[in-house]
Chains A and B, each alone.
Chain A
Amino acid sequence: MDGKRRVADYWIKFWFEPVSAYPLAAFRVGFGLVMMANLLGQYLPHYLSFYGDGAMVSADAIYAHRWLNLPVFDLLFFLPSDSHSQLGFLYATIFLNLLFILGLGTRLSTPLLFLFLLSLHNHCPIILHAGDNYSRLVLLFLSLSGGACGRVLSIDRMLSKNKEQSALIEPVAMRMIQLQFCFIYLINWLYKICGPIWLEGSAVYYATRLTQYWRFDYPASLDNALASRLLTWSTLVVEAALVFLLWIPRTRNLMIIIGISFHLFLDLTFNLGVFEWFFIVTFLLFVDGSFYEKVFRNKEI
């Protein structure tokens, strides 16, 4: 009986005990900025080729082949199919993302942003990369937070009549993002250890030969089998460590530094859109609330 009670208490403590609002708010700002880079830098240039009148792959073909004619949520189907209306939808999404970054009307702008992004993704899923899929999940969780992500570091806070309002929030959304983040490492790690190239140590060698992902020149000194083995196995160790050690207070800060360095190195080596940046900003959620409180103390934002 005691054991069950302890599990229940731990569950309530983990998911519902109030925590500092700063980590989630800092994450909101960072995540919103990466989203903005994605919307303006990657969606906008080719938007009409995928969403406009006479798109490269028609919405009907996608609905039939990708969604197997199952019901999907897509606000774009309610709009006229002309290019102006479709482009207007993207601008509306960008505007909502701006409100989200600034923390204005967060309680409403966050779920709206999620629904708009969900529509963009469902309408043309054949252009989505892993960063898009991650951003959709994150916005789903933030939508459930009832505006908690805009409690501080926001215009909502500056406009609030109750300036003394507490900077504590219920952490459900934050915990879901943290857990999802670690699940991604775990799932990816499980797939990796099932693959012979990861066990024999050639995965980094093969991955760094893929010319479509090249960003900057890989140091020539690493262009050999020994370096490939060491980097492959180190990747497995780092990813496994990130699943568990981010949750342990004694190792958390070290893992944040290792995790950010790991993704920066990946971002310099591989061109994977904004995926690495979504992951880098997620580490902000693991930084202790007291750190932010020291930084933002007396700033009324």
Chain B
Amino acid sequence: MPDQKYTVEEALEHGVSRLPPGKTRRIILSFFIVFFFILANLISLSHYPQFKEALLKRLEPLAAAFNLGQNWTMFAPDTRKLNFHSTALIEFEDGSLRLVEFPRFDLMDTASKFKHAKLRKLFNDYMVNQIGEKYRPSIARFYLQSVYDRKNKPRQLTIDFHFRRTKDPFEDGVVDKRDSVRRHLQKSTIFIYRVRD
């Protein structure tokens, strides 16, 4: 007679409701676990410049299929040392101009920041950086279509990047106070889109 600690009712309270996993299932799951963590973390490390070339190309097909891509580099290894916003200047056939300001999170209240969070990624992380420059034509076309007028067609859209560098507290010996960093006085044109005739 085996050790019997519980009555049937008590055993139902304590035992697993499904049969414990068989050996084959455990082996399959174990392989998946090892494979996943090696793959996922190689992908994570592939964002580091030294590994980028070697790892990313080989892992891309696997990562793309199930979007296993991971990037846990928030504020690391370095962080952005400038504040910015961007604008689009649209020029029309008759020479008139229209200025569009892309969403500015520094000027929004807390609720709006939450509501528009998805825009931040596109406009602040992708559009103004090298990683997202290939999407600039699509964004330009979207904005040009939104102001399209058959009698006075838009001819050109220029994206400008307005910025202000943050002072280095150790090199410059000055701490930038938080209320002084909003004025973006430097400007650089990052993209021009001309409409075909």
Contact = CB atoms under 8 A, between A and B. Distances in A.
A57 B139 contact: yes
A132 B170 CA distance: 36
B9 interface: yes
Contact of B65 (A73, A121, A272): A73
A198 B77 contact: yes
B15 A183 contact: no
A142 interface: no
A181 B70 CA distance: 12
A133 B69 contact: yes
A1 interface: no
Contact of B30 (A15, A70, A168, A203): A15
A50 interface: yes
A120 to B, nearest CB: 10
A272 B29 CA distance: 34
A-side binding surface: helix, strand, loop or mixed?
helix
Nearest to A17: B20
A273 interface: yes
Nearest to A213: B105
Contact of B142 (A56, A67, A71): A56
Contacts of B121: 126-129
Interface stretch (B88-96, B174-182, B189-197): B174-182
Given A130-B74, A166-B14, A200-B170, A212 B106 contact: yes
A170 B16 contact: yes
Interface string B117-139: 11111101010000010110011
A228 B119 CA distance: 29
A224 interface: yes
A191 B66 contact: no
Interface residues of B, number: 75
Given A127-B121, A164-B12, A209-B83, A72 B67 contact: yes
Given A191-B73, A223-B177, A183 B83 contact: no
B40 interface: yes
Contacts, number: 213
A168 B166 CA distance: 54
A202 B170 contact: yes
Given A126-B122, A126-B126, A194-B48, A176 B33 contact: yes
Interface residues of A, number: 86
Nearest to B43: A187
B60 A68 contact: yes
A228 B166 CA distance: 14
A115 to B, nearest CB: 10
11 contacts: A43-B118, A46-B116, A57-B135, A130-B71, A164-B9, A166-B12, A187-B41, A202-B168, A209-B176, A211-B83, A271-B114
8 closest Cβ pairs, A-B complex: A195-B77, A211-B106, A191-B76, A212-B105, A192-B76, A127-B118, A70-B64, A194-B77
Interface of A: 11-12, 15-16, 18, 41-43, 45-46, 50, 54, 56-58, 61, 65, 67-68, 70-73, 118, 121-122, 125-130, 133, 136-137, 140, 144, 146, 151, 162, 164-166, 168-170, 172, 176, 179-180, 183-184, 187-188, 190-192, 194-198, 200, 202-203, 205-218, 223-225, 228, 271-273
Interface of B: 9, 12-18, 20-21, 26, 29-30, 32-33, 36-37, 40-41, 44-45, 47-48, 60-61, 64-67, 69-81, 83, 105-106, 110, 113-122, 124, 126, 132, 134-135, 138-139, 142, 145, 166, 168-170, 175-178, 181-182
